Amino acid sequence: MSDSMGFETPNLREWLAELYSLPRVIQERVVKGTVATGASVIRKAAVQRAPMWSGKVSAGHPPPGTLKRAIYQTRLPEECSATREVWKVDVRRGKSAVSSRGKNKGKRMLGSDAFYALWVEYGHYTRTPGMTSKQHRKARGGVDVYTGSKWVPARPYMRPAFEANKDDAMQAMQKYLNENLGLAAGTMRYLTAISGAVPA
């Protein structure tokens, strides 16, 4: 599930000139906030579109709403540079996450792991009792020869969320940049005027 978008706007040259006039730490804060705002729009749309199970929940299965709760956004610092800011919107599919704050800090959060996320996004064959992993992989390849195994159609939520909301994400990013770049630049001009020096 990897889609991406670049940030282009008619005001980009003016924004960059104003951005580069700010100290590095403030530049990074404004750019991070801008891209995080766009990622947040996509994440919220994916959460809204993600289907939620409304039937009976069998023992050992995640509770309803797990898929929605497992959608997150995060910054990828190893892919970021002075001219590039990368954020990811994805689904937690590993082990249940450990809470990092609040009264549940250090405890495993049940219902935070949607290991089946890709099955929902792309569709899948069911695994019937007695079916081996090898038989299941073969069925997933399109050979449905095992009694009781059936195809469950895809219910995409991540790809449609991105496609339908990337323009809204761009507009939110532009709005954030307009508001915060002007605010940061105004603050710097004020600090320079009262101190007589530009902070590093």
The predicted pLDDT at position 191 comes to 47
Q: Name the CA dihedral angle for 70, 75, 76, 79, rounded to a multiple of 10 degrees.
A: 150
Whether residues 75 and 129 fall in one domain = no
The predicted pLDDT at position 190 comes to 45
Range of the domain at 145: 123-156
Whether residues 133 and 171 fall in one domain = no
CA distances from 25 to 20, 56, 86, 200 (A): 11, 51, 17, 8
Residue 4 placed within a domain: no
The predicted pLDDT at position 168 comes to 95
pLDDT beyond 60 at 68: yes
pLDDT beyond 90 at 32: no
Phi and psi (nearest 5°) for 88? -125, 140
pLDDT beyond 90 at 91: yes
Distance CA 178, CA 27 (A): 13
Token pair for residue 32?
A: 């991070």
Whether residues 43 and 138 fall in one domain = no
Q: Which residue has the higher pLDDT, 104 or 88?
A: 88
DSSP assignment string, 4-63: ------TTHHHHHHHHHTS-HHHHHHHHHHHHHHHHHHHHHHHHHHS----SPPPTTSPP
pLDDT beyond 60 at 6: no
Distance CA 124, CA 142 (A): 10
Whether residues 77 and 134 fall in one domain = no
Whether residues 46 and 79 fall in one domain = yes
**Vertex 13, ends 12 and 16: CA angle to 5°?**
80
Whether residues 79 and 143 fall in one domain = no
**Averaged pLDDT for residues 2-29:** 60
**Averaged pLDDT for residues 80-92:** 86
pLDDT beyond 50 at 47: yes
Whether residues 147 and 86 fall in one domain = no
Q: Which residue has the higher pLDDT, 186 or 35?
A: 35
Give the pTM: 0.70
DSSP assignment string, 49-77: HS----SPPPTTSPPTTHHHHHEEEEE-G
What's the pLDDT tens digit per position in 134-185? 776 666 555 555 556 777 899 999 999 999 999 999 999 888 888 877 666 5
Whether residues 62 and 92 fall in one domain = yes
Phi and psi (nearest 5°) for 3? -120, 155
**Averaged pLDDT for residues 22-26:** 63
- Cross-strand partners of 79: none
Distance CA 173, CA 41 (A): 9
Distance CA 30, CA 180 (A): 7
The confidence band for 113, taking pLDDT boundaries of 50, 70 and 90, is: confident
**Vertex 33, ends 31 and 38: CA angle to 5°?**
100
The full length of the chain comes to 200
pLDDT beyond 50 at 87: yes
β-pairing, 124-125 vs 87-91, is unpaired
